Amino acid sequence: MQQLILDIRPQEAPTLATYVPGPNGEVLAQLRHWIEQPDRPPLYLWGPAGCGKTHLIKALATELGLACACGAIPGQAGNGIALDDVARLDDQAQIEAFDAFNRCRERRLAWVASGDDAPAALALRADLQSRLAWGLVLRLWALSDADKRAALFARAASLGFRLDAMVADYLLAHHSRDLGQLLALIDALDRLSLELKRPVTVPLLKTLLPDQA
């Protein structure tokens, strides 16, 4: 059952409205302003795992109608390209990314990319590094446990139940720190609670995490 649960993803598509900013409130404001610009400069988001880069990349892709991919170049450009986790690009994909960037600039299409490090610190071709450094480069910071805890309470409230603080604390202490997986477990807990007609408690949570039983 554990593997089945871990494969569950939040049902709602990522949006800017559902992003938990934590220390990244100013970045979120800048992204909203960036979206409104008629001639948007290239955008590069970077920061550690857990800061919400993938959420923001997907949200921007949906908002603007961009072709989105992780570690690869999308086949179709749409209104532009949203490229998540550029560090995963192999040698050929880096060449394709460089060419795609130039095409987007020539056609005045949007370009969005993300990575774990600043452009100059990435193990990529120098010409691609320089392209990623053009335009707007925004750093994201990892969410604190307090931010993640708040996100868990908010997700539970949106599903129509009150999350007990002990359940939130147990999740943060004994499960992945990835916010996406934490929120997926809240969704799974809600479904299991309804199916079994049991309240959401730590014992119910442990049935989803047998290693912690």
Q: Which fold has domain 22-139?
A: Rossmann fold (3.40.50)
Instruction: Name the percent of the chain lying above pLDDT 90.
Output: 63
Q: pLDDT tens across 2-23, in order?
A: 444 444 444 567 899 988 899 9
| pLDDT above 90 (res 213) | no
Contacts with 137 (C-beta within 8 Å, 6 or more apart), sequence order: 44, 46, 118, 119
- Tell me the pTM: 0.81
Q: pLDDT tens across 22-54, in order?
A: 999 999 999 999 999 988 999 999 999 888 899
Cα(61)–Cα(145) distance, rounded to whole angstroms? 28
Q: Once rounded to an integer, what is the mean pLDDT over residues 64-82?
A: 87
Please give the pLDDT value at position 1.
43
Instruction: Name the percent of the chain lying above pLDDT 70.
Output: 92
Domain boundaries, the chain: 2-9+144-212, 22-139
Average pLDDT of every residue of the chain: 88
Cα distances from 38 to residues 64, 112, 133, in angstroms, run 12, 15, 20
Nearest partner of 209 among 183, 184, 177, 185, judged by Cα: 185
Please give the pLDDT value at position 154.
87
| pLDDT above 70 (res 167) | yes
What distance lies between CA 91 and its chain's CA centroid? 25
Contacts with 192 (C-beta within 8 Å, 6 or more apart), sequence order: 198, 204, 207, 208
Q: pLDDT tens across 111-162, in order?
A: 999 999 999 999 999 999 999 999 999 999 988 999 999 989 988 988 889 9
Q: Once rounded to an integer, what is the mean pLDDT over residues 177-197?
A: 87
